[in-house]
Amino acid sequence: MLNPLKVRKILKKGVPATAVVQSMTAPPRGASKFNLGMTLHVYVEGRAPYEVQDQWLVSAKAPLGFGMRLPVKVDRTDPTEVAIDWDAHMVAQQEAAEQRRADLAARGPVDGPPPASTAVEVDGDPDLGARILEALGGAAASSPDDSDDTLARLERLAALRDAGALTDDEFDRLKGEILGG
């Protein structure tokens, strides 16, 4: 775990990168800030991706989940020292939420529930299907303009598979739904 001074230094002078949450410990209840153990896959331009396991100070307000992309900075001399840019993460999450709301509002009035094609049943467990759909952000992407969203959904789906929540067959079936095939 990095001390706050080191975090500030890395955020100021570090190399910009992206990290994807692979696993994390359970946060304590009721805390506004806490140390959270996570495994991150770090992607720095011009370098091979690598994995870092550590603890990071996290605000309870920060949206966080498996497969989520985080803006990070990497220490120039020690790439295992990674600082998460929580301010940038919160701004990106807010912008994504606003875009989702705008997209939803643009669909106009509806005459009932979403189409049945958004239902996902996994081994007869509709609750698991609903949780997977929620993790994927809803139904499968339907247009080329959704390529970033499709990639994010596929990454979250892969994280669920890697965490053991999905079998390879379930992963393949759901991936096909996301890709529209």
H helices within 55-181, ranges in order?
Answer: 86-106, 126-136, 147-162, 168-178
59 close to 32: Cβ distance less than 8 angstroms: yes
Bridge partners for 71 per DSSP: 18
- Residue 37: DSSP 8-state: E
Q: How sure is the predictor about 12, in pLDDT bands with cuts at 50, 70 and 90?
A: very high
The whole-model pTM stands at 0.57
Q: Which residue in this structure is represented by tokens 């992407």?
A: 141
Give 121-171 pLDDT, tens digit per residue.
555 565 666 667 666 665 544 444 556 677 788 888 888 888 777 888 888
Taking CA 161 as the corner, what is the angle to CA 155 and CA 162, rounded to the nearest 5 degrees?
85
Give yes or no for a contact between 159 and 21, defined as CB atoms under 8 angstroms apart: yes
Rounded to the nearest 5 percent, the helix, strand and coil shares of the chain are 40, 25, 35
Contact 59, 86 (CB under 8 A): yes
Q: Residue 119: what pLDDT? A: 53
Q: Tell me the per-residue pLDDT of 44-58, one tens digit each, with 9 for 90 and over.
A: 999 999 999 999 988
> What tokens does 123 get?
């081994």
